Every structure is written in C-alpha cells, then in structure tokens.
Amino acid sequence: MDNPHPNITKLIKQDLSNISPKPIQHFQLIRAKSRVYVYKCLYNGIPAVVKYFENDDDKREILNYRILTKHDIPTIKTLALGKSSLVMEDISASKDWRLGISNDFEDTDVAKSLAQWYFTLHENGSTAPELDDLYFEYDNITKENLKTLIHKFPEGKDLLEFVLSHFNRLRELIYQPSFTLTYNDFYWSNLVVRKDKKAAMMFDYNLLGKGYRFSDFRNVCWSISDNAKAAFTDEYHQLYFEKYGRTRLEDEEVEKHIDDLAASLFTLIVAIIERESFPSWAEHTRSEVLNGNLLSKAKLLFP
C-alpha cells in the first residue's frame, strides 16, 4: 500500500496549495515516526521528497531551511516550504549528489569537504540575527531535570548534587562562549556527498540550533575514523587561519572545558528522562558517571 496515511497526504496537498498551484502526487511512504511523515513523490513532475510535521516543535525544520538559505549556507535544494510541509530534491534521483554511506566516515576527501560545509555554517551562522530564538540543547539543563535525574539515576547522585550546588555558575559558564549555528545531529544517514567528493553537507535540520563550534567538532570527530578526523580538523583550522590570521585553539579550549560537562548532562537528560529505554549512544556517558570521571571534570570546572 503506497499511501497508508491518506489523511496526511491530503493535509500535505492542502498546505502546499496555499503557496503554489504545482501538483504533488504519487506518494510512497518512506518513514512515519513520532508524527513526522516522509514520502517520495512527484512535485510538478519532478522526483522529490516531502516531509510533513504534525508537532509544532518539529515544524522548526521548515524555518531552519529558510535561515540556512538566507545566510548562504548550502542545503539540499528545496522546492516548496509550507506551514507544515517541506518539499526537497530527491537525492536518490540526482545526477550530481548521492546519499551518505557508512564508509564516508573513513574517507578523508569526504571529511575535508564536510569541514568546508561546517566552516560556512559556523562563519555565516555566527552573525545570524535569529540565533537568540533558536533551539539550544543546554537549555534542557535545569534544576528540575537534574533533580529528576537523581531520582531516576541514583548512581549519579554525587555528581548531580555537586552540579546543583554550583548550578548558577554553570549557567553563567554555558552562556560565556560565543554562539553560532550548530548542526547537533551528525550521522552518516544525514549526509549528502557530491559524487566527485568535492562537496558534502548535512541535511535533516530538526535539531539545528545555536551552540559552540566545539560541540559540532565533538559530534563529528566522535563518529569518524582517525584519518578522517585529522583531515576534517586540519581543513577547518586552515580555513579559519586563512580568514583570521590566527588559530581559535584558545577559544576552542574554553568551549571544550564547558562542553565536557554540559554535553554529558544533556545526554543523561535525553537518555534517562526523555527516552523509554536507555540508548546505546549514551553508554559512554553513563560509564563516565559510574567511574567518577565526570565528577572529576565537574570539580575542575568549579574549583
């Protein structure tokens, strides 16, 4: 059955008809999860992919495409942006681009091209006037959530009580570095690569928001091979030096110092409070709590 959600495709047609008379048809469901629906389709006769968002929070991805385009940050070509729907190029039908594969995380050419995209994201995003209103992961680090973690994860009580005793200072530190646009959802299935590997970019911008450059560095470098990591960081730092005549290693160290704790707290909040079962990607953070390493990092941050 190509269309198991006829009510959703009807809503998509209604939404898009408000912005253009171009027809959308031949829906084939790719994914339906957490009230986000993704279809292959034909839009004005062109192979396309359409996403429909039932939740208001998820509709921020439509706004994020507008922000990226406005600030000259490369994205997949969008064909239509409605209130609840977005239509984009079908990369599987592209003659120039392809979807990412797991082996891309070992490819130094892809890593270098990806560094160029991230550099543009961070440079252009650093002056985006929309930053103040965007999603920020560390806004989830609240006293209420930390107290809930103590209840749900008593093994972390020493760490969490220590953080709570320094909570106001933590909030000050979190807002100390400069913010820019950050991607926040790095994985090979969210990657698009030009077939000659001369360019690469991320897509799926639901978690795009504001944050530190280092946070994106952490997400990228955690996932890719050592050789790809070296290619990524070398290219990014070279681009930065060419533009500014200096490195950003000092700024990066400040961001890392804060991020080491904040990112782990955010991971615990998502994994333990927001998920029904504990995800594998959070196991490292849980181990850091159990072996005392995270408490040691917190004590370094609050001497």
| pLDDT exceeds cutoff 60 at 48 | yes
Q: CATH homologous superfamily for 6-94?
A: Phosphorylase Kinase; domain 1 (3.30.200.20)
Within the chain, all domains assigned CATH 3.90.1200.10 are found at 98-301
| Cβ–Cβ < 8 Å for 257, 247 | no
Please tell me the distance from the alpha carbon of residue 217 to that of residue 233, in angstroms, as a whole number. 8
Give Cβ neighbours of residue 5 (< 8 Å, ≥ 6 apart): 29, 32, 37
Mean pLDDT of 275-281: 92
The predicted pLDDT at position 227 comes to 98
Locate the DSSP E strands across the chain: 24-33, 36-43, 46-53, 78-81, 85-89, 97-99, 180-182, 191-194, 200-202, 209-211
The predicted pLDDT at position 2 comes to 58
Give Cβ neighbours of residue 253 (< 8 Å, ≥ 6 apart): none
Mean pLDDT of 234-257: 96
In this structure, what token pair is assigned to residue 299? 């004590």
pLDDT tens-digit profile of 21-31? Answer: 999 999 999 99
pLDDT tens-digit profile of 82-124? Answer: 999 999 999 999 999 999 999 999 999 999 999 999 999 999 9
Within the chain, all domains assigned CATH 3.30.200.20 are found at 6-94
The predicted pLDDT at position 303 comes to 79
| Cβ–Cβ < 8 Å for 282, 267 | yes
The predicted pLDDT at position 224 comes to 97
DSSP, collapsed to helix, strand or coil, labels residue 97 as strand
**98-301 is a CATH 3.40.640.10 domain:** no
H/E stretch holding 234: helix 226-244
| pLDDT exceeds cutoff 80 at 251 | yes
The predicted pLDDT at position 4 comes to 75
First-to-final CA distance of the chain = 61
Residue with tokens 């005549």: 245
Quote the pTM value: 0.93
* Banded model confidence at residue 257, pLDDT cuts 50, 70, 90: very high
The predicted pLDDT at position 3 comes to 65
| Cβ–Cβ < 8 Å for 268, 149 | yes
The predicted pLDDT at position 154 comes to 96
| pLDDT exceeds cutoff 60 at 1 | no
The predicted pLDDT at position 46 comes to 95
Percent of the chain with pLDDT over 90: 96
Mean pLDDT of 168-174: 97
Please tell me the distance from the alpha carbon of residue 29 to that of residue 42, in angstroms, as a whole number. 13
